[in-house]
Structure 1
Amino acid sequence: MSTQVDAEHQHHLVRAKSRATYCPIGPYLTTGIDPMNVDLWTKVNGNYEQQGNTSDMIFPVYEMLAYFSHHMRLLPGDILATGTPPGVGMGKNRFLADGDILECGVDHLGAQRHEIVP
């Protein structure tokens, strides 16, 4: 049975990751990994706040690619921001603050570290 992206989630998927400075990426892209089995994690001030695997996503990666390719032209190197594992601020009523250290990583690929500034 196929999952469909409803209108509310379509809006959120674009708005949540599309503003300037909202989605730091890079500096490299990789190939040869199974996008349906990738471990992801987020730490805030050294504490794990999110951990998950792409196999647990509501909408499978390949289904999202098919859906979005019907609405926009996708080219090699394009990035489709899909969301994060459970544990985000709204669910915990905890949001990033000035001076927090945010680390995000993908097992076997690498991690990024950012200091939150005003």
Structure 2
Amino acid sequence: MIIRYERNGKVKHGWMVEADHKVRVIEGDIYKVQTAKPIMTGLELSLDEVTLKAPSAPSKVVCIGINYRDHASEMDRTLPKEPLMFLKPSTTVVGPGEPIVYPRQTQNLHYEGELAVVIKKEAKQVKAEDADDYILGFTCAIDVTARDLQMSDGQWTRAKGFDTFCPLGPAIAAKVDYQNLQIVTRVNGEVRQDANTSQMVFSVPQLIEAVSAVMTLLPGDVILTGTPSGVGELKPGDEISVTIEEIGTLSTRVVMAE
């Protein structure tokens, strides 16, 4: 699986061999396979020697709302006739273990565990049947939401756009059956969400078609595919994790803003 890591002040991509607790170093840009093909150097590092970063550094994060039927029911919303899109700025993105900062502007912070799609190459006006050609892989995500702000005036971007409101990681799984993945969110070890991506209203290829019809997706951009039922509140000090089979577990914690 592909990771981004920091070592000695430099951020690089690597290939994680989790069973061996190793990272195989990659030199070059993984998104420029046509002009500057990345090289697997053969150099291996222990995972203890590196700090995992968010596996992608997107120019934008495109989010999809109300994309699981059971979540629509718990939010008292009708199912959308087409994907409901909103954006998170790139500054929301943090990596594994980097804390979610609880802003002082909210009193009701919520988690939403999600499957994230990482885009491989520039995507514009992509048809659903061609969507797989534009996917680098998949990772875990937490769509953090200031629910009281969202519900008070409907400004989803403000409610979901605070710094640290999009943890991603730990790695990008390049080949998974994204239509049938179990996704489990835990808060302080307690299961809060337990669902399968087969329950999505709009499939991953349909989402890529819909989003790329509106905006050009750039290499490394991320689409969050929606959350299942079981969303709920986070408090300062809470530990939260999202586990998606064949990908891994993204873990972090909540801290109060200074």
User: Smaller-chain TM-score range?
Assistant: 0.7 to 0.9
Change (3 A) 1:27 1:61: same
Kindly indicate whether the alpha-carbon contact (under 8 Å) linking 2:173 and 2:246 is maintained by their aligned counterparts in 1: no
Matched, 1:10 2:10: no
What displacement does 1:34 show?
Answer: 1.9
Matched, 1:56 2:199: yes
User: Which whole-Å deviations, capped at 9, do the CAs of 1:23-61 have from their partners, x for residues lacking one?
Assistant: 111242221112211111100111100011111012111
Instruction: Provide the aligned length of Structure 1 versus Structure 2.
Output: 109
- In structure 1, C-alpha distance between the alignment counterparts of 2:225 and 2:186, rounded to whole Å: 19
- In structure 1, C-alpha distance between the alignment counterparts of 2:200 and 2:212, rounded to whole Å: 19
Change (3 A) 1:30 1:75: farther
Kindly indicate whether the alpha-carbon contact (under 8 Å) linking 2:171 and 2:248 is maintained by their aligned counterparts in 1: no
Matched residues, percent identical?
A: 36
Secondary structure of the 1:75 match is coil
Partner of 2:190: 47
Partner of 1:30: 173
Secondary structure of the 1:55 match is helix
Kindly indicate whether the alpha-carbon contact (under 8 Å) linking 1:104 and 1:112 is maintained by their aligned counterparts in 2: yes
TM-score by length of 2: 0.38
Secondary structure of the 2:177 match is coil
- In structure 1, C-alpha distance between the alignment counterparts of 2:165 and 2:243, rounded to whole Å: 16
Structure 1 unpaired stretches of 5+ = 90-94
Partner of 2:255: 117
Q: Which amino acid aligns with 1:24?
A: P
Change (3 A) 1:55 1:17: farther
Matched, 1:107 2:212: no
TM-score by length of 1: 0.78
Secondary structure of the 1:62 match is helix
Normalized per residue, the structure richer in strand is: 2
Tell me which structure has the larger Cα radius of gyration.
2
Kindly indicate whether the alpha-carbon contact (under 8 Å) linking 1:17 and 1:81 is maintained by their aligned counterparts in 2: no
Q: Which amino acid aligns with 2:197?
A: T
Structure 2 unpaired stretches of 5+ = 1-79, 89-155
- In structure 1, C-alpha distance between the alignment counterparts of 2:160 and 2:243, rounded to whole Å: 17
